[in-house]
Chain A
Amino acid sequence: NAGVTQTPKFQVLKTGQSMTLQCAQDMNHNSMYWYRQDPGMGLRLIYYSASEGTTDKGEVPNGYNVSRLNKREFSLRLESAAPSQTSVYFCASSEVLGRYSTNEKLFFGSGTQLSVL
Chain B
Amino acid sequence: DAKTTQPTSMDCAEGRAANLPCNHSTISGNEYVYWYRQIHSQGPQYIIHGLKNNETNEMASLIITEDRKSSTLILPHATLRDTAVYYCIVRVYNQGGKLIFGQGTELSVKP
Contact = CB atoms under 8 A, between A and B. Distances in A.
Contacts of B49: 103, 105
A41 B101 CA distance: 10
A44 B101 CA distance: 7
B102 interface: yes
B46 A107 contact: yes
Contacts of B51: 103
A99 B58 CA distance: 23
B43 interface: yes
Contacts of A103: 32, 49, 51
B56 to A, nearest CB: 16
A58 B103 CA distance: 17
Nearest to A50: B97
Interface string B57-99: 0000000000000000000000000000101000111111111
B96 A56 contact: yes
A76 interface: no
- Majority secondary structure of chain B interface residues (helix, strand, loop or mixed): loop
A100 B30 contact: yes
Interface residues of A, number: 31
B97 A106 contact: no
A102 B31 contact: yes
A105 B46 contact: yes
B102 A42 contact: yes
B17 to A, nearest CB: 24
A104 B101 CA distance: 15
A102 B101 contact: no
B103 A106 contact: no
A1 to B, nearest CB: 15
Interface of B: 30-32, 36, 41-46, 49, 51, 85, 87, 91-104
Interface of A: 4, 31, 33, 35, 41-45, 48-50, 56, 58-59, 88, 90, 92, 94, 100-111
25 contacts: A33-B97, A33-B99, A42-B85, A42-B102, A42-B103, A42-B104, A43-B87, A44-B101, A48-B98, A49-B97, A56-B96, A58-B98, A94-B97, A94-B99, A101-B93, A101-B94, A102-B30, A102-B32, A106-B44, A108-B43, A108-B44, A109-B43, A110-B42, A110-B43, A111-B42
